[in-house]
């Protein structure tokens, strides 16, 4: 295994453990699986030529911007976070569209990436992605995520079926979620983009039904679980040098139950509030989905200037007994501004301004599809979903990042940065538009202000964040996360 010099097309995974455990495990993985750096000079010339012509399958990562930038040099990959750097190749006729990601997400490849079969920790599906997947790391807005636990393990196994085809199996496990995603990818050399088709299953507790001032469970006293089974097909394509897009159609059957693995369907909570549109506790959803990423930042993992826009829409088509009809719109815009206020060593000082918003058009708003505010990715200082569950929301953030120290640990460069932040989120008084009004039943406030400070460690593996936030209700919360939040 090698540390990547061209990170934008790395095949690696992500897992989220405690701070010390994660660092030790990752440094051990570097030692156990290969040399820190493996360059072309150490390889036979015929191996380099053959490897430079290899195209990664579409299921690996997200869209790059030019066909010539999408071809891979496998020997320069291994264990690292990704960026949007690119390399030239003699073959410019084939496109691997899943080669851009943002935010320093951790991904670890445990095998030689040039081999037909590879596996490792974490998801290798990145943004934009129009397929529903329990293992994806990046959403149009974090308020769409159902992650409750800070302890998450993800893994992937991929089998190439030639230069243009591949199969991918991904799995997710944490105390509140279990999921599988199996997909086939075709990079469609005759087209400027690529196709993917998947089937998935996810068993998860939902922030919509937890973390309010009042506990409302099921009639039998258990916590509701949302069970999803479905699949879809998507097409992904670079649209301009800065803009990538994905469109797809997804079908899923959603039910609420009293445990992760049970046949006992529970359509109502203990107060008689409906959890699904169908009276039998099982809804059918058919949606047309699209995602866009517009990125002008100077560095996808640690931007100091430029902007980043994510946009998504999901249009449901009424099917089945539930007959659900809505259009969900969401967007996140971040502006990165160099601002030299203070710092303790050399390095960039950056002010980040972020604005997010989302809304449902239509009267049908399933609770398991609603927006959830609170937590490390939305309003810090609150627990996940503690602020609100609603059909519309706005969220703003001002964050200042500054360098603290730089050093080497276990032969790895570590950059410590401090963070000062203020977050504010508001449900725009739309909690009662959600089916069953779970926010009101659990006495969620509907708006919240969070502020605090944090420490992040930037490594060749990605970014580790520890943040302590205070909230407007007089409480506080410590957050740990991997990757960036913008």
Query: Any idea what the CATH number is for the domain that residue 306 is in?
Result: 2.40.160.50
Domain contains 144 = yes
pLDDT at site 435: 96
CA separation for the pair 423, 126 (Å, rounded):
25
Verdict on whether the full-model pTM lies above 0.85:
no
Domain contains 226 = yes
- Domain count within the chain: 1
Domain contains 219 = yes
List the domain range (segments joined by +) for residue 364. Answer: 7-482
CA separation for the pair 270, 218 (Å, rounded):
5
The residue written with tokens 């015929």 in the block is 46
pLDDT at site 191: 87
Domain contains 141 = yes
Domain contains 468 = yes
Domain contains 1 = no
CA separation for the pair 333, 280 (Å, rounded):
40
Domain contains 358 = yes
Residue 149: CA atoms inside 13 Å, Cβ hemisphere, count? 17
Contact between 360 and 389 (Cβ < 8 Å): no
pLDDT at site 104: 61
pLDDT at site 301: 75
Residues 6 or more apart whose Cβ sits within 8 Å of residue 465: 376, 419, 454, 455, 456, 479, 480, 481, 482, 483, 485
Domain contains 397 = yes
Q: If the chain, 486 residues long, is cut into consecutive pieces of 10 residues, what is the mean pLDDT of each piece? A: 34 33 34 37 43 38 32 30 32 40 67 89 86 88 85 89 91 94 90 94 96 94 96 94 95 96 94 95 97 92 91 96 95 97 93 98 96 95 96 98 91 90 98 97 96 90 88 93 83
């Amino acid at each position: 295994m090698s540390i990547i010099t061209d990170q934008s097309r790395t095949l690696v995974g992500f897992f989220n453990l405690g701070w010390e455990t994660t660092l030790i495990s990752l440094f051990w993985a570097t030692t156990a699986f290969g040399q820190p750096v493996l360059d072309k000079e150490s390889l036979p010339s015929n191996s380099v030529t053959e490897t430079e012509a290899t195209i990664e399958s579409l299921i690996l990562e997200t869209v790059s911007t030019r066909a010539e930038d999408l071809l891979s040099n496998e020997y320069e990959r291994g264990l690292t976070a990704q960026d949007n750097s690119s390399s030239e190749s003699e073959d410019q006729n084939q496109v691997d569209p899943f080669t851009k990601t943002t935010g320093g997400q951790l991904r670890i490849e445990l095998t030689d990436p040039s081999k037909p079969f590879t596996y490792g920790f974490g998801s290798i599906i990145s943004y934009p992605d129009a397929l529903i997947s329990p293992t994806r790391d990046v959403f149009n807005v974090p308020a769409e995520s159902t992650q409750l636990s800070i302890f998450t393990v993800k893994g992937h196994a991929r089998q190439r079926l030639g230069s243009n085809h591949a199969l991918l199996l991904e799995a997710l496990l944490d105390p509140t979620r279990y999921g599988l995603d199996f997909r086939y990818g075709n990079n469609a050399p005759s087209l400027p983009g690529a196709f993917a088709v998947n089937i998935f299953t996810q068993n998860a507790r939902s922030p919509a039904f937890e973390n309010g001032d009042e506990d409302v469970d099921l009639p039998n006293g258990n916590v509701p679980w949302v069970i999803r089974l479905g699949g879809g097909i998507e097409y992904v394509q670079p649209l301009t040098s800065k803009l990538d897009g994905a469109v797809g159609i997804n079908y899923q059957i959603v039910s609420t139950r009293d445990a992760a693995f049970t046949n006992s369907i529970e359509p109502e909570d203990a107060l008689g509030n409906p959890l699904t549109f169908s009276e039998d506790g099982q809804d059918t959803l058919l949606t047309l989905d699209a995602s866009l990423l517009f990125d002008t930042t100077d560095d996808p993992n640690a931007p100091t200037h430029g902007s980043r826009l994510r946009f998504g829409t999901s249009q449901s088509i009424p099917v089945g007994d539930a007959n659900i009809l809505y259009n969900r719109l969401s967007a996140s815009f971040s502006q990165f501004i160099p601002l030299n206020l203070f710092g303790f060593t050399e390095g960039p000082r950056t002010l980040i301004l972020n604005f997010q918003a989302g809304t449902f058009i239509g009267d049908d708003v399933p609770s398991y599809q609603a927006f959830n505010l609170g937590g490390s990715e939305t309003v810090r200082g609150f627990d996940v979903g503690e602020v609100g569950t609603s059909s519309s929301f706005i969220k703003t953030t001002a964050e200042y990042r500054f360098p603290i120290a730089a050093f080497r640990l276990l032969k790895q460069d570590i950059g410590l940065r401090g963070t000062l932040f203020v977050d504010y989120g508001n449900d725009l008084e739309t909690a009662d538009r959600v089916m069953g009004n779970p926010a009101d039943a659990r006495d969620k406030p509907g708006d919240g202000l969070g502020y605090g400070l944090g420490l992040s460690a930037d490594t060749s593996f990605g970014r580790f964040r520890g943040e302590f936030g205070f909230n407007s209700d007089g409480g506080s919360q410590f957050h740990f996360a991997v990757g960036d939040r913008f």
